[in-house]
Amino acid sequence: MALTISMLTLFVAAFLAATVVPFQSEVVLLGMQLTGIAPLWLLLIVASIGNILGAFINYAIGVRLEHFRDRRWFPMNAAKLERAQRWFNTYGVWTLLLSWAPVLGWFTVVAGIMRTPLWQFTLLVSIAKTGRYAVVIWLTARAMGD
């Protein structure tokens, strides 16, 4: 039961961290790794799936967001939105490999606005998000002497 609750907590933390909610899932992941509550491979899989699915929320927001670009409450003006779209067009879907970084998570929203094919979005975001958690787990294990 404790393992199930822990994995659910990790999943939710990783999911929220990938959305617009300001949250750091690495703290939860590190805490679980340090306590040894689950095998490292399980922590990696659960955190990655949660974070990838959270990125899909951003993608969906991006798909719908452009419809509201003329509204007063829209989070960016037309010039900023066009600049982001030009930037994405210049550097392409490869920017999604940087979506692991909290500051650059907005790339997943722009990918939705730009209607990036879901297979490309899924592949690149999965590589980025899983890679980040793998590095965090590896560095922590290395620091612990494991």
Quick one: three-class SS letters along 12-37?
A: HHHHHHHCCCCCCHHHHHHHHHHHCC
Query: What tokens does 83 get?
Result: 């600049």
Q: What is the pTM of this model?
A: 0.87
Mind listing the pLDDT tens digit of every residue in the chain (146 residues)?
888 999 999 999 999 999 877 788 999 999 999 999 999 999 999 999 999 999 999 999 889 887 776 777 666 667 777 777 787 888 888 989 988 887 777 789 889 988 999 999 999 999 999 999 999 999 999 998 86
Query: What tokens does 142 get?
Result: 């290395």
- Residue 124, helix vs strand vs coil: helix
Distance, in Å, from the CA atom of 108 to the CA atom of 121, rounded to the nearest integer, reads 8
Amino acid at 52: I
The domain locations on the chain are 2-144
- Give the pLDDT score at 146: 66
Query: What tokens does 38 get?
Result: 């689950």
